[in-house]
Amino acid sequence: MAEQTLYERLGGYDAIAAVAANLLPRLQGDDALRRFWDHRGADGLAREKQLLIDFLCAASGGPLYYTGRDMKTAHAGMRISASDWSAFIDHLGATLDAFELPAQERHEVIAFIESTKAEIVET
């Protein structure tokens, strides 16, 4: 029997969408990170949420195809600092805690998110 993908172990699309729905308001409500979402329309925010879901699904071995731009292009010029990244990781951890993600899956999620850091953090 084949080992389950991380996508399957996370609970599939609906579970990943729930994580995104929990994480994004945390990020948008953070005084230090809010600037990345200020002055964005509802449609843009909804599109960003869907791209996040698609990215997480694809990166975790799910059947979705991520159609968004690569991380470097998508985040170019945003001046995301190491401090911003650290705050993001803290919020991600709080979201994973809220869903009581098991240690192995938590480690794998953090690892694939951390693998994007060099393409996202500019300063």
For the chain, domains (ranges, CATH) are: 10-120 (1.10.490.10)
**pLDDT on residue 123:** 72
CA distances from 101 to 27, 28, 51 (A): 19, 22, 22
Secondary structure percentages of the chain, helix, strand, coil, to 5: 65, 0, 35
- Cα torsion 78, 84, 85, 91 to 10°: value is -120
Is residue 68 within 8 A of residue 54, CB to CB? The reply is: yes
What mean pLDDT do residues 25-43 have? 94
Measure Cα distances from 19 to 44, 94, 99, 109 in Å.
Answer: 19, 10, 8, 12
pLDDT, the chain, mean: 95
pLDDT band at 1 (very low <50, low <70, confident <90, very high): low
**Looking at the whole model, is its pTM more than 0.75?**
yes
| Residue 49 φ/ψ, nearest 5 degrees | -60, -45
Instruction: Provide the pLDDT for residue 20.
Output: 97
Spatial separation of the C-alpha atoms in residues 67 and 65, rounded to whole Å: 6
